[in-house]
């Protein structure tokens, strides 16, 4: 399977996860397992991981959710939306100070993006 096809399949798995997250947490976890088999960008991995955290918490599997979150939370991300994903996942885990820090980082990045647009 070509790398381009693998990336497309990873993106499709995330799109399917978005559609299923309205309550079908078993499907989200199944799609996340499929997603992990493919190479994907750091941002896409973050989004999928955060949806998996929500699904794991909803399924009562908080320990596993914390493990997924540990792998995601130690990275630096380039876009504000990435920190918004993190904040939502931290809220699911009731890690309010971490959620606040992620929101602050998102706000800083959003401000920097606006300044760059207005200067450019």
In tens, the pLDDT along 61-87 reads 999 999 999 988 778 998 999 999 999
For tokens 């999928």, the residue is 48
CA 41 to CA 52: how far, in whole Å?
16
**pLDDT score, position 28:** 93
CATH of domain 3-119: 1.25.40
Q: Is the pLDDT of residue 99 over 90?
A: yes
Rg of the chain (C-alpha set): 15
pLDDT at 104 over 90: yes
pLDDT at position 44: 92
Q: Is the pTM of this model over 0.85?
A: yes
């Amino acid at each position: 399977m070509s790398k381009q096809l693998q990336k497309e399949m990873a993106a499709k798995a995330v799109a399917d996860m978005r559609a299923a997250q309205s309550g079908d947490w078993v499907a989200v976890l199944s799609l996340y397992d499929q997603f992990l088999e493919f190479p994907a960008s750091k941002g896409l991995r973050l989004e999928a991981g955060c949806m998996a955290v929500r699904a794991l918490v909803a399924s009562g599997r908080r320990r596993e959710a914390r493990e997924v979150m540990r792998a995601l939370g130690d990275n630096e991300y380039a876009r504000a939306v990435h920190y918004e994903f993190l904040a939502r996942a931290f809220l699911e885990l009731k890690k309010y100070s971490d959620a606040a820090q992620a929101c602050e980082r998102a706000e800083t990045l959003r401000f920097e993006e606006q300044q760059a647009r207005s200067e450019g």
